[in-house]
Chain A
Amino acid sequence: MLIGVTAGLAAADVSPASPWRHLYIVPVAVAALRFGVAGGLIAALAAVLALGPFVLREIEGHGPTRAAAEGAVTLVMLVVAGAAVGGLAVRARRQRERYETLRAVQRTLAESAPLERTAARLVAVLAPRLRVDAAGLVLDDRRVVAGAAHVDPRSVAAHVLARREPVFVIDTGMTPRPRRAVAVPLTSGDETVGVLAVERFGDFSREERDALVGFGAAFGLALDHARLAARQRRFAEELEQQVSKATARLAEMDRLKSGFVALASHELRTPLTALQGFSELLATRPFAPAEVRRLAEIMRGEIERLGRIVSDFLDLARLERGLAPAIRRSVLDPAPLIAAAVDLFRRTRTTHRLELHVDGALPRLDADADALDRVLKNLIGNALKYSPPGSCVRVHARAGNGVMTVDVEDEGPGIPADERARVFEPYYRVRDTAALGPGTGLGLSVVKSLVEAHGGSVRADAAPGTGTRMTVMLPALP
């Protein structure tokens, strides 16, 4: 186009004041809009080179005429226009690029990914958009570093982190060609959340450096928001999991309670039916004294069973209200209690062998005798209930380390490992053995609450070979 305009100028009247000269502004403006200041100036210089000879020829031939002055003004205006249009074009382009870069950064930060991967992605996004040869990012108090192996304490990034001020290095001094570097803090409010460092062969204008500082502030804010959003996301996920777990647990409790109501009705009805039947027999028929005594003994057993069930219910009601079971402590010797409980079951449950081992003298306890009796009877009763006839149930009591320990071992099917902790929960019954005998699912939870009310502990383990070992540990008096 320059050549065309020059040819038109030459063909017209060779005067530098020809209207053709105004057409030079077109290629200058186009180059400035397309290539910025450099393009505008190069095109303007090319126009000056093309128009200049006409101006010089006018001056040589006719002196400083009006036409020569108009031509000279045109030359100056072309250079000014090239620089100004190019400058404005560059500024507008940079504004747009800055906006797009921020959008790209926000898009990257919005992705749900670990901070390390996000930082690497950010460096990959930023380097071409900022037109730099290398970019580095330090985040999260130097924990996350992208674009370098680590933060050298003597590096510009470390300096910026310490001083919280942008740094411009005019020559990094490590390459044959000078390499400029800029490091800016990423700020959010008064807090410095990281550092962005960029390097390139070539200048960083003051405008670019100022833009990088502004970008650091916007980037820091976006980063902070992204971190908050990620934290909120994590919190929401955790909350959802907790709610889901709690809902499942409530559903399980509901199911267990429904089962319990059915079971409790059955458990209460059985002794009541027996009592009703035997009492009717005694009221309506004559029996020999020995038979009357036998029936009365059966009725007493059923009444005791009813009493145990009602006690369990009462204890459970206290537990559900967040109260410990009521106990009345006194100093007692546990050995006779243990022996009495074992003797009772030996007499009534002749289908099993029941062994008692006591190692040495047992220490005295500060405990509720009734509660301790209920604990022992519950554990021994369970062991007998869930182990096959003819098998052996062993009760082993010993002292040591300031506690008295009682193990009750059976040779039953045992409790699966994943259910051992749950057997102490109210209403819970082991799935595989629930059918082996009647029960409310309250016994072990009551045992646990009674033992813990004494400051002790109870746990379920696998017994050697097969079966279950329940271990109760109670603090001994010195």
Chain B
Amino acid sequence: MPLPILLALGAVTAAAGALAAADLVPLTPARAVGAGAAQGALLATTVAWTRGEPRVCPVPAVGAAVVLAGAIGAALLPFGALAYLAAPVWLWRQRHRLPSLGFVHPPLGLSAAAGAVGALLGAHLLITASLTLGFGVHVPTVEHLAPWLAYDACANVLMTEAFFRGALLDRVQRRWPFAPTAAFVTVMCLARYLVDPLLPRSLEVTAGAIFYLTLLSLANCWMYWRSGSVVPGIAAGVAFFACYRLLHVVP
């Protein structure tokens, strides 16, 4: 566990929150720093847990810095969404040095099925939320949707799958059978989303998040356990969150 890095990232997040609360910095960059620090903490822990030979492995702090820089760049720079690509590009380049992370080619059919599962859950979310709970579905502009898609694909889903499946599930499944492992990882994954400040605070949304993220996490756990790859989980997550971003509940 890279404790010094996690403490440093926690301090950065707290400082950003304090500065935003005191109106010393705008809310958007402060949130970007907070989100980047949280994602960076996940990646730093992932790298620390999954690296192979210590002499050639990537340094966890570098991973955290890349994610943090990407998040800040995305918030501040024009066409900043492109900055989110820094983390996946860095991870892709380091994949051979992180052998147990699960960046391997899965069966194509499984990835397609995973995308379909994510899309099905997302579509169900849209239907349920719009027909029963009264949330509207909007057709967003590319300028509005693209940054969210970039965030989900390159930060939110990528870091979640890398940490919860590639690192946490991989470690736990070597000690426990699959069912309790999947339950534990799913609970941890739910906790990560429920403490996320980006999640709207309402009973319906919280209940929906618990329901859909539980199904998504269990499906992703099963696919990782089956294939040893995080790619199907990423496909399912991206498809699900793409649908989720169509709801006007998203801030």
A76 is an interface residue with CB less than 8 A from chain B: no
**B40 to nearest A CB, angstroms?**
25
What CA separation (Å) do A52 and B215 show in the bound complex?
Answer: 14
B interface secondary structure, majority: helix
A416 is an interface residue with CB less than 8 A from chain B: no
Pairwise interchain contact A53-B127, C-beta atoms closer than 8 A: yes
Partner of B175, one of A45, A52, A60, A170: A170
What CA separation (Å) do A57 and B204 show in the bound complex?
Answer: 13
Pairwise interchain contact B174-A178, C-beta atoms closer than 8 A: yes
A interface secondary structure, majority: loop
B94 is an interface residue with CB less than 8 A from chain A: no
Chain B residues within an 8 Å CB radius of A49: 120-121, 124
B178 is an interface residue with CB less than 8 A from chain A: yes
Pairwise interchain contact B175-A53, C-beta atoms closer than 8 A: no
Known: A45-B215, A49-B124, A203-B178. A178 touches B131 (CB 8 A): no
- The contact size tier of chain B is 20 to 34
B100 is an interface residue with CB less than 8 A from chain A: yes
Known: A45-B215, A60-B134. A176 touches B100 (CB 8 A): yes
What CA separation (Å) do A205 and B176 show in the bound complex?
Answer: 11
What CA separation (Å) do A53 and B211 show in the bound complex?
Answer: 13
Pairwise interchain contact B133-A60, C-beta atoms closer than 8 A: yes
B177 is an interface residue with CB less than 8 A from chain A: yes
Interface residues in B144-190 (C-beta closer than 8 Å to A): 173-179
Known: A49-B124, A53-B127, A176-B228. A170 touches B174 (CB 8 A): yes
Interface residues in A20-55 (C-beta closer than 8 Å to B): 45, 49, 52-53
B178 closest partner in A (C-beta): A203
Partner of A177, one of B124, B127, B228: B228
Pairwise interchain contact A56-B100, C-beta atoms closer than 8 A: no
B128 closest partner in A (C-beta): A53
**B184 to nearest A CB, angstroms?**
15
Pairwise interchain contact A57-B131, C-beta atoms closer than 8 A: yes
A180 closest partner in B (C-beta): B177
**B168 to nearest A CB, angstroms?**
14
A56 closest partner in B (C-beta): B132
**B214 to nearest A CB, angstroms?**
10
What CA separation (Å) do A203 and B176 show in the bound complex?
Answer: 9
Pairwise interchain contact B99-A57, C-beta atoms closer than 8 A: no
What CA separation (Å) do A202 and B177 show in the bound complex?
Answer: 9
Given A45-B215, A49-B120, 10 more pairs with CB closer than 8 A: A49-B121, A53-B128, A56-B132, A57-B131, A60-B133, A176-B228, A177-B228, A203-B177, A203-B179, A205-B177
Please list the 7 inter-chain residue pairs (A to B) with the smallest Cβ-Cβ separation, ordered nearest first: A56-B132, A171-B174, A57-B132, A177-B228, A53-B128, A178-B174, A203-B177
Residues on B facing A (Cβ under 8 Å): 99-100, 120-121, 124, 127-128, 131-134, 173-179, 215, 225, 228
